[in-house]
Structure formats: C-alpha cells, structure tokens
Amino acid sequence: IKEVAAHAGVSMMTASRAINGKALVSAKAKRAVDLAVKALGYVPNASARALAGSADRRVALLHSHSTTSAYLGELLLGAMSEAPQRHLHLVVEQCAPGAFASEIVEQVAHAHVAGVILPPPLCDWAELVDGLRARDIAIVAIATDQDGPDMLSVSTDDRHAAYDLTRHLIELGHKRIGFIE
C-alpha cells in the first residue's frame, strides 16, 4: 500500500480509505489510487486486513454424519463455487457424532467465522442455533422447520415441487408413478 500511495501521490491513509471504499476521499484521489492499483497490480493482503481489524470474511459450512453424501456434495460444490465470488473463505467443519452443541459452538467460535451455513438436521438443533446466536454468529438455515426473525433460511415448497414433478411426468406420458420417501 506504501507503493500505491507513493504512485498516486497521496498518503497511506488516503490510499487505504480509497481501496476500502471509505468516505472522506475526494474523487480525484480515488481515481489516482485506482490507477495506481491497476498500474502496480496491487492486491490487498487478506491476512493484513484481518490483523488490521477488518470484518471477518470466513463462513463455515457445518455438516453432520447424518447428512447424506450426495446432499452434502451438492451443497459443498455450491458453497465452494460462490464463496470466492463473494470474497469469502469457506470453512468446512464436521460435527462429530455425539458432540454437544456447546462443543460445536466453541469449535465455530475458534474458527473466527462471521456466519454459519446449517443444513439439516443441524438447522433444527435448537441448542446449537441458540448457542450460535448467543455468540452473535450469523446463521443461514437450509430446509429448516424453524422460522426465526434473526435467522436467514433457504427452503423449498416440497408440495409444489412434487406437484410440478408429477405433472411433468404425466405430460411425458407416464401413467404409473411412484413416490418413495
């Protein structure tokens, strides 16, 4: 950042503010810093940012032994694909069979994550959810039966999906349709 500031003809503080999108930077200084960043190929150091107190950019995906491998695989591939696009680091943690919710919360807290993705059945484990909330760790629950004002969730309308699937099979000419749960 020292080189960027010198190249742009601004102070290191101004260069830092411009790079991090902070206020109090004139349009002229911002342009000069942007040009210097491009000319020098500057890329901010994530470790230095963490040490400087910037927001944590880690998200944990928790899974348990009861999560099927196919479901977990799809979820993991999606998270791995999306995380870099959002400048996030993905931390994958397995919740050991028989573990207590408090142990898992400690494990997550020590990973210094900003948020946690909870697939089923973990998303419906009240002690785990409450423990994460108590630590102010953001939660995204997948296919949860719970609904809370301070928890984001992703779910599907299974009834409507089954209807659409069945209608599609009928339109293809199928007459004997089975459903296995």
Q: What is the pLDDT of residue 95?
A: 84
Which regions of the chain does DSSP assign to beta strands (E)? Answer: 58-64, 89-95, 115-118, 138-142, 152-154
Tell the burial category of 140 from Cβ atoms under 10 Å away from its Cβ (0-12, 13-18, 19+). Answer: middle
Residue 175 clears pLDDT 90, i.e. is over it? yes
4 within 8 A of 33, measured Cβ to Cβ: yes
H or E segment and range at residue 162 = helix 158-171
Within a 10 A sphere around the Cβ of 91, how many other Cβ atoms? 16
Reported as a single tens digit per residue, the pLDDT across 126-167 is 899 999 988 888 899 988 877 666 678 787 788 898 899 999
Q: What is the pLDDT of residue 30?
A: 92
Band (pLDDT 50/70/90 cuts) for residue 112 is: confident
Reported as a single tens digit per residue, the pLDDT across 5-58 is 999 999 988 998 888 777 788 999 999 999 999 999 887 765 555 545 444 588
